[in-house]
């Protein structure tokens, strides 16, 4: 598997960064659609390209459900709609393809938890059980009850979604479709967290070169140099795991689902370590509302918990390995 980015992929990453830097959130979403950021498969984009876009948006802390919607578009063609997957359910372990939400007499009833960008969604992709089988229901967001929950990041704003005998717009796919969306979502929100951590590392590196103590830049102190070096290693290894998982999805590798779980678990922990290292480099100023460090940390923490926590995915990997060994 070749993980070297092509010239086209590097151009894509640079173009997204330029796009986000010069436009507001509303126009960025429209521009992403015009750019072809939701055109997946065939001559369109693959998971690697989607991860590059998600990383770029994360680096700028763009308040957009791109990673969420792109995960659904990776499996289904829904014409670029702002569709958000509802994969977690309250009081149950994270198992998207084993939903308690049910379809009875053609109507969907159930509850979903920790749904990112719920207030901004046009559609929800809702795993549900119909006649004993898992299916994916596409539901209009206006037909659901959305309850905001306290959260670290008010832009992602994960919410509780209640469905009471809602007639779906359509039924798309089966348990395998749900698993593909869940794997893609894990990879793409991890890429977004890596982007946020990457820009935070750059801010910390620049600050260390400018801030002076005892007559010299603090970047010259061995303790801080070690912190910055550790941050870089964690950042690059997290991105490598995300890139490998994305490439595995594109190549339909038999272990793609396991690779996505590994990348989610590792990136969730590694990006938080990068953020904690940055707070040490900045010192007290990072704990003020005026400094951007806390916004990066909030995005990293919330995205680390989107579509399964690190612990959820570590358990999934353990179950997968146990099944393979039996």
At residue 287 the predicted structure's pLDDT band, cuts being 50, 70 and 90, is confident
Residue 275 DSSP class: H
Q: Are 228 and 203 in contact (CB under 8 A)?
A: no
DSSP state for residue 76 in the 8-state scheme: S
Q: Distance between the two ends of the chain, CA-based, in angstroms?
A: 28
Q: What is the Cα gyration radius of the chain? A: 20
| Mean pLDDT value of segment 214-231 | 90
**The pLDDT value given to residue 30:** 87
Considering the four listed CATH numbers 1.20.140.10, 1.10.10.10, 3.30.470.20, 2.60.40.10, the one that applies to the domain covering 177-325 is 1.20.140.10
Domain with CATH 2.40.110.10 in the chain: 83-174
Name the token pair of 73: 């578009």
Per-residue pLDDT of 95-154, as tens digits, reads 999 999 999 999 999 999 999 999 999 999 999 999 999 999 999 999 999 998 888 888
Copy the structure tokens of residue 238.
């997290």
pLDDT in tens, 13-32: 999 889 888 877 778 888 88
Q: How confident is the model at residue 43 (pLDDT cuts 50, 70, 90)?
A: low
* Residue among 97, 8, 100 at smallest CA distance from 46: 8
pLDDT averaged over every residue in the chain: 94
Residue at token pair 């070297």 = 4
For residue 12, give both structure tokens.
């894509």
Helix H, strand E, coil C: the string for 121-160 is CCEEEEEEEECCEEEEEEEEHHHCEEEECCCCCCCCCCEE
83-174, which class in CATH? Answer: mainly beta
Residue 289 three-state SS: coil
CA distances from 29 to 83, 117, 142, 187 (A): 13, 13, 20, 20
Both tokens of residue 258?
Answer: 């396991």
Are the C-beta atoms of residues 112 and 137 closer than 8 Å to each other?
no
The CATH 1.20.140.10 portion of the chain extends over 177-325
Which of 52, 91, 74 shows the shortest CA–CA distance to 125? 74
Residue pair 271/300 in contact by the 8 Å Cβ criterion: yes
In the chain, DSSP finds a helix count (H) and a strand count (E) of: 9, 10
Task: Decide if 203 contacts 277 (C-beta within 8 A).
Answer: no
Question: Which two structure tokens, joined as six digits, stand for 78?
Answer: 């829904």
> What percent of the chain has a predicted confidence (pLDDT) above 70?
99
Cβ neighbour number for residue 95 with a 10 Å cutoff: 18
Q: How far apart are CA 99 and CA 89, in angstroms?
A: 8
pLDDT in tens, 63-97: 999 999 999 999 998 887 899 999 999 999 999 99
Asked if 185 and 67 count as a contact pair (C-beta separation under 8 A), the reply is yes
**Between 284 and 299, whose confidence is greater?**
299
Which of these, 117, 110, 120, lies nearest to 89 by C-alpha position? 110
Instruction: Tell me the longest C-alpha to C-alpha distance in the chain.
Output: 75
């Amino acid at each position: 598997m070749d993980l070297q980015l092509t010239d086209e992929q590097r151009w894509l990453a640079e173009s997204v960064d330029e796009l986000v830097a010069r436009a507001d959130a509303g126009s960025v979403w429209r521009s992403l659609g015009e750019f072809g950021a939701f055109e997946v498969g065939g001559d369109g984009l693959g998971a690697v390209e989607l991860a590059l876009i998600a990383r770029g948006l994360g680096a700028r802390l763009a308040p957009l459900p791109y990673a969420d919607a792109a995960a659904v578009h990776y499996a289904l063609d829904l014409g670029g709609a702002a569709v958000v997957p509802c994969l977690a359910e309250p009081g149950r372990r994270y198992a998207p393809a084993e939903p308690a939400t049910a379809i009875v007499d053609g109507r969907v009833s159930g509850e979903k938890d920790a749904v990112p960008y719920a207030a901004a969604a046009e559609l929800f992709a809702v795993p549900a059980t119909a006649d004993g089988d898992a299916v994916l229901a596409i539901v209009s967001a206006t037909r659901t009850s959305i309850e905001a929950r306290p959260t670290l990041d008010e832009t992602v704003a994960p919410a509780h979604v209640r469905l009471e005998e809602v007639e779906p717009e359509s039924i798309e796919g089966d348990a395998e479709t749900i698993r593909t969306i869940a794997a893609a979502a894990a990879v793409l929100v991890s890429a977004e967290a890596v982007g946020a951590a990457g820009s935070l590392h750059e801010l910390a590196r620049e600050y260390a070169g400018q801030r002076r103590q005892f007559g010299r830049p603090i970047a010259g102190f061995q303790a801080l140099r070690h912190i910055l070096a550790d941050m870089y290693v964690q950042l690059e290894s997290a991105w490598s795991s995300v890139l490998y998982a994305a490439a595995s999805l594109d190549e339909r590798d038999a272990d793609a689902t396991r690779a996505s779980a590994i990348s989610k678990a590792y990136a969730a922990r590694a990006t938080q370590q990068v953020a904690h290292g940055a707070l040490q480099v900045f010192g007290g100023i990072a704990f003020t509302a005026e400094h951007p460090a806390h916004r990066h940390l909030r995005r990293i923490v919330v995205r680390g918990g989107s579509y399964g926590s690190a612990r959820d995915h570590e358990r999934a990997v353990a179950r997968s390995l146990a099944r393979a060994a039996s």
